[in-house]
């Protein structure tokens, strides 16, 4: 391409970089080109380069060392024409649709006088994009270690790698954002795809369209990023194409990046991702913790703190999440981080303090402890404990099984009574649970209201019951966690199915024992826990 040199242009003395604006490509092509460009640059056979990239079809990309199975909903992606591939850079899984723009820097390590990546380098490489956003009238900031955000919401995530003499640094620019598809394609730790949860993800990310009302033209965004780099790195950018060596390397690499050998190359032995969650109803509001954990490596991979409380400043909660991300899965360590954050005044929540945050966190950590009994973590999510750890409660050999009336048939004449005749009705889960408890030599009773529960707990305590197992829904537990605790009795509570009085907004009726729908116990989970009780305490089983 012919160079147009404006007269008296001082730019002429600036170092010239290549601007490589590649058309939308498949994920395999984009990844192959990344590696080709980096290698050739690392050998000193190409100019420093800024590349724009886009994907077609849309794609999910895992980080270099991540296991696909742990990060991506493969069936959904395959059914919805979403490419799956693996980056040559580190970091987490991302969803990249046709609306997003990627930017990349390939350059000599010498340009930044650095051979080792460091915080200052990341900042230097993010500043051009912050400047680009300023050109689009958006006030963005660099958030260590390497994100760009607007008012606490992430608009650009970045990552990088190196080869020989060169660095490669890449980032995304969210232009428009399909949260719903992202949540379905990636294993983001949200419970179910409820509107509320989509909103909580929306609170943590943003895109040009949401900020500006409409997405700017792609050419304008590219121009802003180009100018941002030119200004911040003090360089001149000149549009160019691939050189012969790059083309050769690109062609040669494509088959490998299309192969399962590359895409599926990491097996989830240590690269695990599992989710635990817990909620606590404090006086001033509900606090939910959702943790993505890597149990083999004892790491907190990701954390979402949500609820119906208000926190100040608006971004404080997201900053706390960012601090906790990647931390060791250690109770004391995490408590220390959260306490410091509150003590240093980074966050203010009317009516809520450090203690209200660590309660649901501790419940989450307790769930990870239960996994040691061989209960899959997804099932541990359905278990809560009071007045002791799971292990401690089991060791006390729980002798009473409490079952909620709401799981009885709505037409059952004993629905609002304490007993059950184990009639064998198909659609009732109380009968089988009742038999199971009896079979395990437990005293089984049905709970008909909150008052009845309290009376029952007090009766049990007075008669020397050491511990109990109960079934109730999560919202009931979250609401009454402090009551359960106040009873002083150690207990294990198992979640029941989803359509509870709380989902239907009928908590008041249920409280008074007038809830008219039928819920269902999780019999499989009950059996697992009762079995652990037998194994741990050597209980006799009734003949």
Partner 1 sequence: MEIQGYNLPEDLYYEKNHYWVKVEGDILVMGMDDFAQQLAGDIVFVQIPFAGKKLKVGKKFAQVESGKWLGKVYAPVNGELIEGNEALEAEPSLINQDCYGQGWMFKIKPADTDELNNLIHAPADIEKWVLEDIEKYKQD
Which residues sit at the interface with partner 1, rule CB under 8 A? 63-65, 88-92, 113-120, 122-123, 145-146, 157-164, 269-271, 296-299, 326, 328
- Nearest CB to partner 1, comparing residues 115 and 423: 115
Nearest to 281 by CA among 352, 335, 332: 352
Smallest gap from residue 120 Cβ to partner 1 (A): 5
Whether a cis peptide bond, with omega within 30° of 0, leads into 366 is: no
CB 475 within 8 A of CB 448: no
Smallest gap from residue 253 Cβ to partner 1 (A): 16
Smallest gap from residue 344 Cβ to partner 1 (A): 21
Beta strands in 5-109 (DSSP E): 16-21, 49-53, 59-62, 83-86, 94-96, 101-108
Q: What is the 3-state secondary structure (H, E, C) of 315-338?
A: CHHHHHHHHHCCCECCHHHHHHHH
- Nearest CB to partner 1, comparing residues 141 and 176: 141
Smallest gap from residue 318 Cβ to partner 1 (A): 17
DSSP secondary structure letter of residue 402:
E
Report residue 131 as tokens.
Answer: 């400047």
Smallest gap from residue 427 Cβ to partner 1 (A): 46
Nearest to 73 by CA among 204, 64, 82, 341: 82
- Nearest CB to partner 1, comparing residues 89 and 311: 89
- Nearest CB to partner 1, comparing residues 298 and 459: 298
Q: Which residues of 314-334 are buried (b: 16+ CB within 10 A; e: fewer)?
A: ebbbbbbebebeeeebeeeeb
- Nearest CB to partner 1, comparing residues 93 and 469: 93
CB 287 within 8 A of CB 359: yes
- Nearest CB to partner 1, comparing residues 236 and 325: 325
Sign of the C-alpha dihedral computed for residues 382, 387, 389 and 395 taken in this order: negative
- Nearest CB to partner 1, comparing residues 64 and 502: 64
Smallest gap from residue 112 Cβ to partner 1 (A): 10
End-to-end CA distance of the chain: 89
Smallest gap from residue 222 Cβ to partner 1 (A): 24
- Nearest CB to partner 1, comparing residues 114 and 134: 114
| 101-108/94-96 β-pairing | unpaired
Smallest gap from residue 297 Cβ to partner 1 (A): 6
């Amino acid at each position: 391409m012919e160079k147009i040199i404006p007269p008296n242009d001082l730019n002429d003395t600036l170092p010239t970089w290549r601007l490589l604006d590649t058309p939308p490509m498949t994920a395999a092509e984009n990844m192959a080109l990344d590696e080709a460009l980096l290698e050739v640059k690392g050998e000193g056979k190409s100019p420093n380069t800024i590349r724009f990239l886009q994907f077609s079809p849309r794609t999910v990309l895992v980080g270099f060392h991540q296991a696909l199975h742990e990060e991506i909903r493969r069936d959904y992606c395959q059914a919805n024409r979403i490419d799956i591939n693996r980056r040559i850079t580190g970091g987490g899984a991302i969803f990249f649709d046709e609306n997003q723009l990627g930017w990349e820097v390939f350059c000599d390590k010498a340009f930044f006088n650095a051979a080792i990546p460091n915080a200052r380098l990341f900042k230097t490489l993010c500043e051009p994009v912050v400047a680009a956003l300023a050109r689009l009238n958006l006030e963005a900031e660099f958030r260590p270690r390497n994100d760009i955000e607007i008012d606490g919401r992430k608009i650009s995530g970045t990552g990088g790698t190196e080869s020989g003499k060169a660095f490669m640094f890449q980032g995304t620019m969210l232009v428009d954002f399909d949260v719903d598809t992202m949540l379905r394609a990636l294993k983001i730790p949200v419970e179910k795809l409820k509107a509320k949860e989509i909103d909580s993800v929306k609170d943590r990310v943003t895109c040009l369209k949401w900020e500006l009302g409409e997405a700017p033209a792609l050419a304008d965004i590219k121009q802003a990023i180009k100018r941002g780099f030119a200004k911040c790195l003090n360089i001149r950018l000149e549009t160019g194409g691939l050189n012969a060596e790059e083309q050769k390397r690109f062609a040669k690499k494509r088959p490998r990046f299309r192969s399962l050998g590359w895409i599926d190359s990491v097996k989830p032995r240590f690269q695990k991702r599992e989710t635990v969650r817990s909620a606590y109803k404090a006086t001033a509001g509900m606090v939910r913790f959702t943790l993505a954990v890597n149990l083999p490596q004892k790491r907190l991979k990701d954390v979402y703190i949500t609820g119906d409380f208000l926190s100040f400043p608006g971004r404080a909660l997201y900053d706390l999440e960012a601090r906790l991300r990647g931390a060791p899965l250690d109770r004391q360590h995490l408590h220390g981080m959260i306490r410091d954050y509150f003590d240093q005044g980074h966050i203010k929540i009317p009516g809520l303090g450090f203690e209200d945050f660590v309660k649901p966190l501790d419940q989450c950590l307790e769930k990870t402890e239960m996994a040691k009994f061989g209960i899959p973590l997804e099932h541990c999510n359905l278990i809560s404990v009071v007045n002791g750890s799971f292990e401690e409660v089991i060791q006390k050999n729980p002798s009473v099984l409490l079952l909620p009336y709401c799981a009885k048939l709505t037409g059952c004449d004993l629905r609002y009574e304490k007993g059950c005749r184990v009639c064998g009705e198909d659609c009732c889960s109380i009968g089988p649970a009742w038999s199971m408890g009896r079979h395990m030599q437990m005293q089984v009773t049905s709970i008909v209201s909150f008052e009845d529960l309290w009376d029952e707990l007090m009766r049990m305590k007075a008669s020397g019951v050491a511990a109990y197992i109960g079934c109730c829904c999560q919202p009931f537990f979250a609401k009454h966690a402090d009551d359960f605790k106040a009873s002083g009795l150690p207990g294990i509570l198992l979640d029941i199915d989803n359509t509870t009085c709380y989902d239907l907004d009928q908590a008041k009726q249920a409280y008074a024992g007038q809830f008219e729908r039928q819920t269902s116990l999780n019999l499989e989970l009950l059996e697992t826990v009762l079995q652990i009780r037998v194994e741990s305490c050597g209980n006799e089983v009734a003949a």
